[in-house]
Structure 1
Amino acid sequence: MTSLKTKSEKTRNRLLTAASRIFSEKGFQESTIAEICEQAETNIASVNYHFRDKETLYLESWRFAFNKELSLYPPNGGVRTDASAEQRLAGRIRSLINRVTDDNSYSFAIINKEMAQPTRLLSDIMEKEINPQRLQMIGLLKECLGQAASDQQIQYCHTSIMGQCFHLLRLKHMQNARHFRSPASDLGDSKAFAEHIVQFSLAGIQAIRSQTLN
């Protein structure tokens, strides 16, 4: 009985791994159950058994990829909870860049495809999974900016940081698709790019904080 359960779990994980990779490359509409099953080395009946339909497989493969990436790159970036707000924010930025640039990370690539060809299928699941991460970063921004910062300033800072990280994701996809080649878009040194975003963002936050205190 245990061996059957283990075999079933392995099949499910193979399907989720294959689906997250294919959905990240082709998007929901262009991906097929047949191709996913071929890569997962299983049959369509196993998809029906574990997920019922393509839509559920899509949702669960995104969640699978997202949680796997969080386990590989913890959101806090390995920074201690008693570190300064600036250090903890830097840790979150580095973790985010690691997840964006890892070739085996698929959740952000799926989001990128979703933005280009919306299905609206991911709205609820993304809100449940991503919103806690967003709220934690906003909390850190409040600490860094100080009590005098307005909600608008906090939201703008959050949008600026996320925009820099997602721009890196877009450059990566453009390079992979061979649509764009330029020394300026070299993604070989993601660590240096992460440090730039950290320094740039913290300097901007400090400038805004100084303005609000005057």
Structure 2
Amino acid sequence: MHKKKLTPPESAEDTRQRLLEAAGEVFAEKGFRSATVREICSRAGANVAAVNYHFGDKDRLYIEVLKYAHRRALEKFPPALGLSKIASAEERLEAFIRSFLYRILDEGRPSWHGKLMIRELADPTAALDSLVEESIRPTYETLTGIIGEMIGKAASSDMRYFANSIVGQCVFYCHAAPVLERLAPGKFKGSEIERLAEHISQFSLCALRQSRKNGGRKTK
């Protein structure tokens, strides 16, 4: 007589993980305001009380989902991309741009990651403050730190303009994807992302070198 194989009990961490993934999908599809805890738990195969147990409430769950998506992207494509600590500022800037593009354009990530972030930026909730302070600001300060090394103190007042321009060049390809697909069919992936990273890097480096050469003086 064969003994029935017992299924090991599911851990609390497994349930929490399923809730994060399910919530990410529902929030991305419907937005924070229209999503319901009942639907999230149903999709996760969890008891309806599971959200309160693991996260406290829907608001806190939403914040954790945003942080989770951002953290997963950083784990897969960290800003330094494996560069040594002695790498030059220019090398670190190129690595930052490349990793940023992969984080927002990589087709290997769950589709809800990008959709959720775009939703949050287009229609911000109270969660955005927490996301910026705890997740986005540290990455942004990494970028401004690299730029500061390159342009020097004389041009430091322009540092955030340069950082915002670099970020803007990258996110354009994510936010304007539907238009770009119609203008020039073909998604950015693999070698195309590499070419795009090289283009944005060279374009940005030219401006940074000129600023350093001018010592922060405005050109007419």
Q: TM-score range by the shorter chain?
A: 0.7 to 0.9
Unaligned runs of 5+ in 1: none
Q: Which moved more, 1:85-94 or 1:130-139?
A: 130-139
Which residue of 149, 156, 163 maps to 2:161?
A: 156
1:75 maps onto 2:91 in alignment: no
Which residue of 153, 170, 187 maps to 1:165?
A: 170
> Identical aligned pairs, as a percentage?
37
Q: Which moved more, 1:60-69 or 1:111-120?
A: 111-120
User: 2:188 aligns to what SS in structure 1?
Assistant: coil
Please say if residues 42 and 48 of structure 2, whose CA atoms lie closer than 8 Å, have aligned partners that are also in contact. no
Aligned equivalent of 1:89: 93
Measure the CA separation in 2 of the matches of 1:102 and 1:36: 25
Structure 1 position 27, deviation (Å): 2.4
Structure 1 position 50, deviation (Å): 0.9
1:138 maps onto 2:159 in alignment: no
Please say if residues 17 and 65 of structure 1, whose CA atoms lie closer than 8 Å, have aligned partners that are also in contact. no
1:207 maps onto 2:210 in alignment: yes
Distance 1:22 1:168, change over 3 A: farther
Aligned equivalent of 2:5: none
Aligned equivalent of 1:193: 196
Structure 1 counterpart of 2:82, which letter?
A: G
Q: How many residues align?
A: 206
Structure 2 counterpart of 1:32, which letter?
A: T
Please say if residues 171 and 185 of structure 1, whose CA atoms lie closer than 8 Å, have aligned partners that are also in contact. no
Distance 1:101 1:22, change over 3 A: farther
* Larger Rg belongs to: 2
Aligned equivalent of 2:4: none
Aligned equivalent of 2:64: 60
Deviations 1:85-142 (A, max 9, x none): 0001111111111111124265554332122212122212321222111111111001
Please say if residues 37 and 43 of structure 1, whose CA atoms lie closer than 8 Å, have aligned partners that are also in contact. yes
Structure 1 position 75, deviation (Å): 1.8
Which residue of 95, 119, 122 maps to 2:125?
A: 119
Task: State the superposition RMSD in angstroms.
Answer: 2.4
User: 2:86 aligns to what SS in structure 1?
Assistant: coil
Distance 1:184 1:206, change over 3 A: farther
